[in-house]
Structure 1
């Protein structure tokens, strides 16, 4: 029975996807919080100028104040020095984390721009809209994720390695059924193969679906081997 092995692989792949999604979500939330703190500092500085002068002609002064506040917020990462009873800065680690995230964002942005420039040089065209592109993962994270996926997929290929050739692939099983139907139709009909086929095909389908990652890779569901194979078989049932 291959079901326990397949279920374990499905759980591991789902866990891998969930961890990746969670890491991306946490990074986006942290980046959004960093950006919001900078924007709030800039807006507050501009509003202070308007309230103090009360003139519509002070737009330039307000803009300058907002820009200065924005730069100051980026320098301090919006967290002032706060000492505890032992003289330690309790916000130091938070500022370091914010600085690290800012550097990582800049690196991802540069990498995205280089990739976009490479696509243009290769004859591709894409109208870039600021903020549209998602550059949430570093090269090392992508490599680690792909390595883990490849390891699981290699394990999946071994699930039917101990089966005979006739049952090692879905296409071979389909051919067996087609031969059965062609040469022994009465027996094929009496065995209700059309009703039991989905359960028999299921392990092969589930193993191939481990490769399906529509959120991060281009994949046409209808082009997968199991879909093509079962579509042909169902049309002949």
Structure 2
């Protein structure tokens, strides 16, 4: 083989090596490009998922924003009714308390007059050397005389311009107190015989006064039940409001915190609690505690019935789920003016 042929063969071999190197480089570039494309496609899919989640969250936030705004408008329009019912119930309780105080004062004054007359008559008989039986008889007669005088027995009727006896109402009230006093004294005598020295509070309100109070309270409660009657179901009851806000808290804890809803929540639920508290009358025989009412149960369980599966996966959201910002919701509610 001539030297020229050998040179051509060597050149061809060198070209082959360069082409093979170029092929290997192209294959490596193709692999890197394929990996880049695959990674890019994965990022695109991830961005699509995130975009869809952000879109859902944005729609939910706008819906919740509109819900809270409508809820505030609803509560603002109902605030005057709630305050009016509270003032009316307060007036009823003050009237009942004043009536009970006046009746207790009248009863105590009458008891004192009867006791004073009885003791004076008995001492007068004993001071003149009379027997104990005579003293007891004199005390009983004096008590009966004072009792009849207090009841207006034999008193001259006092007529108004229409010829009606205006003393009848006072006489009826005095007779009622006399009957209550007689029953109370009889009970005390029986307890003394049984050696029962326990004490019990005496209900100073008459039966008619108690019925009147209960009737007027029932009217207030019926009016309270109709305050949110014209509101949509999602705005008209505390369970609906707590359920809606609790779902927000469970799904978007970070957004829930950023919206300062934990701070605003007592003001949002206070009207419902105030309406429910109109039924709480511990002074006048209604001994059901407020902790058995609906508002207390709802707030005590607020957010706990919702599954904690937050859409927000940040560390702040995880910390919010771990530490409930509404743990002191009931004490905070007490501070709402």
* TM-score normalised by the chain length of structure 2: 0.54
Question: What is the correspondence of 1:155-174 to structure 2 with a 5 Å cutoff?
Answer: 155-174=223-242
1:19 to 95, 105, 116: 95
State the 1:187 CA deviation.
Answer: 0.9
The number of residues matched between the two structures is 210
State the 1:132 CA deviation.
Answer: 4.8
**Cα deviations by residue, 1:62-100 (Å, 9 ceiling, x for unpaired):** 222212221222233399x999xxxxxxxx987x67643
Distance 1:14 1:50 in 2: 53
| Unaligned residue ranges in structure 2 (runs of 5+) | 1-75, 157-164, 185-195, 305-323, 327-337
- 8 Å CA contact retained: 2:280, 2:288: yes
Distance 2:227 2:278 in 1: 13
Q: Does 1:69 align with 2:152?
A: no
Distance 1:157 1:78 in 2: 43
Q: Does 1:233 align with 2:305?
A: no
Match of 1:145? 213
Distance 2:172 2:181 in 1: 14
Cα RMSD (Å) of the superposition? 3.4
Structure with larger RCO (C-alpha < 8 A, sep 6+): 1
2:277 to 187, 209, 212: 209
- 8 Å CA contact retained: 2:151, 2:175: no
Distance 1:152 1:39 in 2: 42
Question: What is the correspondence of 1:1-237 to structure 2 with a 5 Å cutoff?
Answer: 1=76, 2-53=78-129, 58-77=131-150, 99-105=171-177, 132-134=201-203, 136-138=205-207, 140-215=208-283, 216-233=285-302, 237=326
- 8 Å CA contact retained: 1:31, 1:101: no
State the 1:22 CA deviation.
Answer: 1.4
| Unaligned residue ranges in structure 1 (runs of 5+) | 84-91, 113-126
Distance 1:182 1:69 in 2: 77
Distance 1:98 1:40 in 2: 22
State the 1:178 CA deviation.
Answer: 1.1
* TM-score normalised by the chain length of structure 1: 0.74
State the 1:105 CA deviation.
Answer: 3.0
- 8 Å CA contact retained: 1:108, 1:136: no
Q: Matched residue of 1:165: which SS? A: coil
- Runs of 4 or more off by more than 4 Å in structure 1? 96-99, 106-112, 127-133
